[in-house]
Structure 1
């Protein structure tokens, strides 16, 4: 099995854990972000209302889409990340830096590797998040979409394939910046632990992997023909939201996001590290 296939497989494991752990927090975040200003007084009220009106399974509404898609997203981002790190390691060895294995990466190398991983991930995460948010925010009574595949069929039927990629500019910007910082923080913490205890990566306890992953750790539009497009471009969306709802609108749903982050990100890296160690057992990573 090639290294790329191993990285893709390990990334899929991390992605599945991320979805299962983070989905309940995510639906609360999306509801708070997309509801009219003043609908919810806070995260607890939003979660309570969802539980009361829609039942506990509502917290996993739209899960099929991210479960299928996020697994692919995370597998892609880790595959690109690890491939880029191997490239930098080879370059470091040629230039006589980065230690005997070339893996003492500079901060710039880690940020660039993370940014490239984020951009690659964005080609899949954009459409996946788009469909997920449609399903999470649709009404329980007479919902317009029967599921993720029905949503894809109806959206592409009206707007073609480009319709699935609405908001992609914002997605790429977010993924590049976010994952650049995300992977830099995680890899730096892992490297620090390896140096501090003088141990190989494989001997770092799973609890530390979760902790470091935790430490390292979207926009919708109207799509119905009757109402038309609410936002023409990403910049138009930013200007409109700022004008009509103020700067605070951009941080709506921040609390559930911050609470979700350590659990989802810790689970992601735990899944990836454990699967990677198993797949690479007895071979050079």
Structure 2
């Protein structure tokens, strides 16, 4: 069954791509500032050896005790720049694909499946950029105490390249990243558009730019929930690959990670760190969509 969602005419001008990129960057910066502490806790839980932490609260206690509140923002420079770039790619490609379908359908409403396709293409494009950025961020986030191998993002990128090269070093974890981004962002953007269209259809004469900011945050938060519920196990696999030893790697591929997690922890091993991730989903993604939509209103 095809679900059609009414869509007002899409904005088009010679600067539209640049506007999409700029608004996406603002959304990405908002996402990092709101979500980085949750992400640090998630990564520590995902990547630490079994028994290191008893749960998310234990990570928080140890982090504050050993590193202070600044520890929650370790490696923030990389995502602040990188996630800003990633989200700008996500949103600009998604908007480009929406305009592509709009031209193809001669202004007819896009279906839910077509919104999914828009997000999936955006996710694949973003995955190529997100993979090295997330790898560097995770290496920095998991440095604890005096065990400091990297002196910042540039030093990290340099050492990853020197140790294992471009493909097996900097781009380690690319395959699960592409899977996660394509499926996840397809669901993410389709959910958001479905919620927006449901809101528009339930109010007479309401247009998209008149939807209040708090509802944009709510819709973005709910979209974040669907994203992470769908693809969290893939994110765990990616994190395991990207925190593996550089000199004596335990895993050769994603399949090795799957086998190891299944053997040592069972299904629950694929959901380590899920609580801080799902707690992060609402504020971080709510801020992302609200910042993007409001920025677009201001510059359009």
Same fold (TM over 0.5): yes
Greater than 6 Å deviation, 4+ residue runs? none
Look up the match of 1:108. 113
Look up the match of 1:271. 291
- Tell me, yes or no, if structure 1 residue 222 matches structure 2 residue 244: yes
Shift of 1:260: 0.3
Shift of 1:249: 1.0
Look up the match of 2:104. 91
How far does the alpha carbon of each residue in 1:46-77 deviate from its partner, in whole angstroms, 9 at most, with x for none? 11110111100000000001001000000001
Structure 2 stretches of 5 or more lacking a match? 1-13, 225-234
Look up the match of 1:252. 272
For 1:196 and 1:9, the matched residues in 2 are separated by 31
How many pairs were matched up?
Answer: 270
For 2:53 and 2:249, the matched residues in 1 are separated by 25
How far does the alpha carbon of each residue in 1:18-37 deviate from its partner, in whole angstroms, 9 at most, with x for none? 00000000000111111112
**Aligned mate of 2:154, from 145, 149, 166:** 149
Look up the match of 1:204. 211
- CA RMSD across the alignment: 1.2
Shift of 1:142: 4.0
Contact 1:76 1:117 in 2 (8 A): yes
Contact 2:138 2:243 in 1 (8 A): no
Look up the match of 2:48. 35
Structure 1 stretches of 5 or more lacking a match? 94-100, 281-285
- Tell me, yes or no, if structure 1 residue 188 matches structure 2 residue 210: no
**Aligned mate of 1:134, from 129, 132, 139:** 139
For 2:42 and 2:244, the matched residues in 1 are separated by 18
For 1:4 and 1:191, the matched residues in 2 are separated by 23
For 1:192 and 1:17, the matched residues in 2 are separated by 26
Shift of 1:224: 3.1
C-alpha change, 1:221 and 1:49, in structure 2 (3 Å) is closer
SS of the equivalent of 1:144 reads coil
Look up the match of 1:173. 179
For 2:243 and 2:151, the matched residues in 1 are separated by 19
Shift of 1:188: 0.7
Look up the match of 1:164. 170
Q: Normalising by the residue count of structure 2, what TM-score does the alignment of the two structures yield?
A: 0.87
Contact 1:221 1:230 in 2 (8 A): no
Contact 1:15 1:74 in 2 (8 A): yes
For 1:229 and 1:63, the matched residues in 2 are separated by 26
